[in-house]
Chain A
């Protein structure tokens, strides 16, 4: 490993000033779990790392917003989310997903900000946040802007964040009472592996009819994505097995899976079909 500078700024202003939009070898480091993997394989050789460890304020803590949703600081560790009663009561789907998100050693240090900023399509939480509705606060020397989570991921390990922007917090929308949510993680290897396919669903049922459905898939495609076709197949349709199957087929037909170590494209397409359907079914079963 080449030697590099490690900066530990105390304020967000200092932190963003230390980042450099022109220089790819300067990056923020939060938990470091993703960065260290890249550094070990020399995929990334930093000249400077800007540690977010000492930052407070907006980057820390969990609180309830006016709409009943949560605002979560970017430096919150995944383990803190996993054990938070507030998260468990507001978004049980998130708490449950965290249990098989890698292992406890990773969850103890990995942060929500790093998890989202990394842009890895294999992450567990992005599809869930995409179905719940969330926005990310991005701060740069030019100020703050809000990025809808659905616009954050632009490609394979690519996000719409500019290199001198930091995620400071994430706001997840409040959910109507009785919402149906599920995250279905399918791994081809160990249970705590990155998913081969991750499917998050969220919908409302109004007198037996599905309203405002959201279906998001990770790991199969080059970035986490909502499936417009599946959502269209569900909207205003009755909550019935054949409807859920049709939506699953629509997602499998619409999305373009890419092959990786977890599976070939054709296998992943099949897994999208199976797990979109299962997620939709389980969301309904779990509600009952």
Chain B
């Protein structure tokens, strides 16, 4: 079957050739990725380097009775074995984390999930290190474990952390409280209106529970960090990280060092998807490097990814009151997030995705409870969408249930309820720079919603479904950028945004190029290096285009202002008479001067720098702790929609997606092609999560921890027709009107397919993924001839 993975025809997309933004500039790094010259930390080795291999816990919960490195140390070629106690000698309080300082660099006293790092063997030969790691003998006293997020939140569940120590690093997580005697790390609330009364006045009440299994990021480049001493009292960490600035501050905190003694650098990432955020291997590598005072490299295998970080499993209970006319008047949401053994950024997922879990709907009466729960499974963190796809799965599946019960067309039902410009979101913030109607229009058009639909026949039934979703962007966060004009007039951008395949280098260069009137392709983007590039919160949550994009814009404006001042002197005219265009500064009278000539005029030769600085931190108001209300909860809203047309094999339960349309509001796109590719890429990723990707656990052990047994979609699996569609709603504060869009394509794919499934065969599945067996079992139950053991 031929696949059509193409954006729609590009008619109105031709911007005037002098413009750098709104132009589908080719990725700056394309050639280097094709010819293999692109830099990845994965390829880095250093002279005298030791390889570290991790010995991992074999049980999900237990006390460590003893660790015997004897046999490992006896192996020829083993340099050292490092345990949690060794690390404690270097770092007295070796716990890290962006929300809670709960994760030990190596397990101390206790293990909390099967696969947790317990010790590291170091050797010059990675195979020797691996064999040594296998020889480290650890004795445990097993403790009762808990895996289900709802069970774990109940009183009486085995307690995973005796005390919780909030990190207080990030302003949006400042309110976290130290707790003990519970597995609930945090509960976030939103309250609005009078819920009880509204339910009483509702004509219908719908209540359902939806579940999501766990999946992983599966970047092609697994987690990798290399550490080396930088002089006697400094440390350099080369790491495939999405958050170099955070790594620096967290490592400095752990060591009790000033930040300027820790240098963190990254290169291109072979994918990240939220996995490579905060601390993954960096603290362990830093500690090992300092203990042995030699370069140390730890690179995980594909298999070890499954023991590092996952997406959150979640249980979402949703109760919705609706009037006869199809208006939603009340919604009560309770979400339990399976955060695994360590909080990582789970509390932020809990809070941010919790607060939008009532959906993109204008509802007067709302109550949301969102709980971050510890369990004895590998830690869960950010995964492209930050928890949004889990809640959209719930509220958009239910939207379909309601629309059908009321016999209202699904698109029409949404139109009756969506938030529009100026209306208050559940958190109270008035909506700005959004247009959900435009998303629904585009879905209706591309899905040919009003045309007769072939419903299939015999054992192949056809159906279609849609969904819409909303996300807020993390706030408040800071980005700082530097635009550097060198002596010859060429330009470099220093930013700590990490290009992990999403095209940020190109987008940043486009923004600076637009302001400076030079070509995007002529700009060099310097990759994150905390000794060189300024602070950035992290490359996450679709924030870079908006935040770093604004910082780069300001930095370029700053550089331009300096250039114009210099040019005004040289050309003896007013600054107002000058503009940067076509690589020169031109006066209205026709006089021109190149950047290089300006540098020569100022520095008497081809020398010197013009440095423009820009920093950006959007306004934010902390939500009220009890009600979640805030006048400014997010710098911008992300809106998306998806439509799916599917075929269901009623004898096997297999879903074949014929067509998947993924619509995203990108504001005014900086680079339309990249935006469409992001929507298509995210759509494909969430498609895999929807139809078959799932980590399978047995008593806390991951039983399919390899890509032989955990399958991600390939070319033969993706929908026959797959498209990414932009809706352009310029954002007033976005750089040239742009919004972030890296996650938008993830939001809606699952319920669009789930709703299409119902449309095709009238079974509603509430738990993801929609595997053939799950579908067939549901079908057979509905036909009253259940499969065995059902």
In-complex Cβ contact of B716 among A41, A191, A269, A270 (8 A): A191
Write out, one digit per residue, whether chain A residues 90-108 have a CB within 8 A of any chain B CB (1) or not (0). Answer: 0000000000100100000
* Residues of chain A within 8 A of B790, CB atoms compared: 266
A1 touches B130 (CB 8 A): yes
The CA-CA distance from A192 to B717 in the complex, in Å, is 9
Interface residues of A in 144-196 (CB under 8 A from B): 186, 188-193, 196
* Residues of chain A within 8 A of B767, CB atoms compared: none
Chain B nearest CB, measured from A107 CB (Å): 14
A190 touches B134 (CB 8 A): no
B711 touches A190 (CB 8 A): yes
- Asked if A37 is at the interface of the complex by the 8 Å CB criterion, the answer is yes
The CA-CA distance from A264 to B788 in the complex, in Å, is 9
B773 touches A267 (CB 8 A): yes
A267 touches B776 (CB 8 A): yes
* Residues of chain B within 8 A of A274, CB atoms compared: 651-652
- Asked if A117 is at the interface of the complex by the 8 Å CB criterion, the answer is no
Chain A nearest CB, measured from B646 CB (Å): 16
A273 to B, closest residue via Cβ = B651
- Asked if A40 is at the interface of the complex by the 8 Å CB criterion, the answer is yes
- Asked if B771 is at the interface of the complex by the 8 Å CB criterion, the answer is yes
A269 to B, closest residue via Cβ = B788
Write out, one digit per residue, whether chain B residues 701-720 have a CB within 8 A of any chain A CB (1) or not (0). Answer: 00110101101111011000
A40 touches B130 (CB 8 A): no
- Asked if B405 is at the interface of the complex by the 8 Å CB criterion, the answer is no
- Asked if A2 is at the interface of the complex by the 8 Å CB criterion, the answer is yes
Q: A41-B706, A188-B771 are in contact. Are A264 and B131 (CB under 8 A)?
A: no
* Residues of chain A within 8 A of B714, CB atoms compared: 103, 190-192
- Asked if B450 is at the interface of the complex by the 8 Å CB criterion, the answer is no
The number of A-B residue pairs with CB atoms under 8 Å apart is 66
Chain B nearest CB, measured from A16 CB (Å): 28
A41 touches B303 (CB 8 A): yes
Q: A3-B127, A190-B711, A191-B714 are in contact. Are A264 and B692 (CB under 8 A)?
A: no
Q: Which of A2, A188, A192, A271 has the most CB of B within 10 A?
A: A188
The CA-CA distance from A270 to B703 in the complex, in Å, is 24
The CA-CA distance from A45 to B709 in the complex, in Å, is 20
A265 touches B788 (CB 8 A): yes
Chain B nearest CB, measured from A188 CB (Å): 5
- Asked if A54 is at the interface of the complex by the 8 Å CB criterion, the answer is no
- Asked if B143 is at the interface of the complex by the 8 Å CB criterion, the answer is no
- Asked if A263 is at the interface of the complex by the 8 Å CB criterion, the answer is yes
Chain B nearest CB, measured from A130 CB (Å): 23
In-complex Cβ contact of A37 among B692, B706, B717 (8 A): B706
Write out, one digit per residue, whether chain B residues 770-787 have a CB within 8 A of any chain A CB (1) or not (0). Answer: 011100110000000001
- Asked if B301 is at the interface of the complex by the 8 Å CB criterion, the answer is yes
The CA-CA distance from A190 to B706 in the complex, in Å, is 14
* Residues of chain B within 8 A of A186, CB atoms compared: 652, 654
A268 to B, closest residue via Cβ = B773
The CA-CA distance from A147 to B713 in the complex, in Å, is 38
Q: Which of A42, A190, A196, A264 has the most CB of B within 10 A?
A: A190
Q: Which of B131, B773, B788 has the most CB of A within 10 A?
A: B773
The CA-CA distance from A103 to B717 in the complex, in Å, is 13
A197 to B, closest residue via Cβ = B652
* Residues of chain B within 8 A of A196, CB atoms compared: 772
- Asked if B14 is at the interface of the complex by the 8 Å CB criterion, the answer is no
* Residues of chain A within 8 A of B128, CB atoms compared: 3
In-complex Cβ contact of B131 among A2, A100, A263 (8 A): A2
The CA-CA distance from A40 to B53 in the complex, in Å, is 14
The CA-CA distance from A265 to B712 in the complex, in Å, is 24
- Asked if B696 is at the interface of the complex by the 8 Å CB criterion, the answer is yes
A267 touches B711 (CB 8 A): no
* Residues of chain A within 8 A of B772, CB atoms compared: 188, 196, 263
B773 touches A263 (CB 8 A): yes
In-complex Cβ contact of A270 among B127, B692, B717, B776 (8 A): B776
Chain A nearest CB, measured from B790 CB (Å): 8
In-complex Cβ contact of B787 among A188, A191, A266 (8 A): A266
- Asked if B789 is at the interface of the complex by the 8 Å CB criterion, the answer is yes
Write out, one digit per residue, whether chain A residues 242-283 have a CB within 8 A of any chain B CB (1) or not (0). Answer: 000000000000000000010111110111001000000000
* Residues of chain A within 8 A of B706, CB atoms compared: 37, 40-41
Write out, one digit per residue, whether chain B residues 125-152 have a CB within 8 A of any chain A CB (1) or not (0). Answer: 0011011001000000000000000000
B692 touches A261 (CB 8 A): no
Chain B nearest CB, measured from A102 CB (Å): 9
Chain A nearest CB, measured from B232 CB (Å): 36
A261 touches B703 (CB 8 A): yes
Interface residues of B in 759-776 (CB under 8 A from A): 771-773, 776
B789 touches A264 (CB 8 A): yes
Q: Which of A188, A192, A261, A267 has the most CB of B within 10 A?
A: A267
The CA-CA distance from A37 to B301 in the complex, in Å, is 13
A189 touches B773 (CB 8 A): no
Chain B nearest CB, measured from A1 CB (Å): 5
In-complex Cβ contact of B709 among A100, A261, A265 (8 A): A261
B303 touches A100 (CB 8 A): no
B788 touches A188 (CB 8 A): no
* Residues of chain A within 8 A of B776, CB atoms compared: 267, 270
B303 touches A40 (CB 8 A): yes
* Residues of chain B within 8 A of A3, CB atoms compared: 127-128, 131
* Residues of chain A within 8 A of B788, CB atoms compared: 264-266, 269
B696 touches A261 (CB 8 A): yes
B769 to A, closest residue via Cβ = A189
* Residues of chain B within 8 A of A190, CB atoms compared: 692, 711-714, 716-717
The CA-CA distance from A1 to B301 in the complex, in Å, is 13
Interface residues of A in 28-66 (CB under 8 A from B): 37, 40-42
A261 touches B704 (CB 8 A): yes
B301 to A, closest residue via Cβ = A40
B716 touches A100 (CB 8 A): yes
* Residues of chain A within 8 A of B717, CB atoms compared: 190-191
B703 touches A189 (CB 8 A): no
B708 touches A37 (CB 8 A): yes
* Residues of chain B within 8 A of A265, CB atoms compared: 788
B125 to A, closest residue via Cβ = A3
The CA-CA distance from A177 to B519 in the complex, in Å, is 67
* Residues of chain B within 8 A of A193, CB atoms compared: 711
B696 to A, closest residue via Cβ = A261
The CA-CA distance from A135 to B93 in the complex, in Å, is 66
Chain A nearest CB, measured from B223 CB (Å): 17
The CA-CA distance from A40 to B306 in the complex, in Å, is 14
Chain B nearest CB, measured from A95 CB (Å): 17
A188 touches B134 (CB 8 A): no
A270 to B, closest residue via Cβ = B787
* Residues of chain A within 8 A of B652, CB atoms compared: 186, 271, 274
* Residues of chain B within 8 A of A270, CB atoms compared: 776, 787
The CA-CA distance from A269 to B301 in the complex, in Å, is 36
List the 10 closest A-B pairs by CB distance, nearest first: A266-B788, A191-B716, A189-B711, A190-B711, A189-B692, A274-B651, A267-B773, A266-B787, A2-B131, A1-B127
28 contacts between A and B (CB under 8 A): A1-B130, A37-B708, A40-B303, A40-B706, A103-B714, A186-B654, A188-B654, A188-B772, A188-B773, A189-B692, A189-B711, A189-B771, A190-B692, A190-B714, A190-B716, A191-B714, A192-B714, A192-B716, A193-B711, A261-B696, A261-B709, A264-B773, A264-B788, A266-B788, A267-B773, A270-B787, A271-B652, A274-B651
Given A190-B712, A192-B714, A271-B652, 15 new contacts (CB under 8 A): A1-B127, A1-B131, A2-B131, A3-B127, A40-B301, A40-B706, A188-B692, A191-B717, A193-B711, A261-B703, A261-B709, A263-B772, A264-B789, A267-B787, A274-B652
- A-binding residues in B (CB < 8 A): 127-128, 130-131, 134, 301, 303, 651-652, 654, 692, 696, 703-704, 706, 708-709, 711-714, 716-717, 771-773, 776-777, 787-790
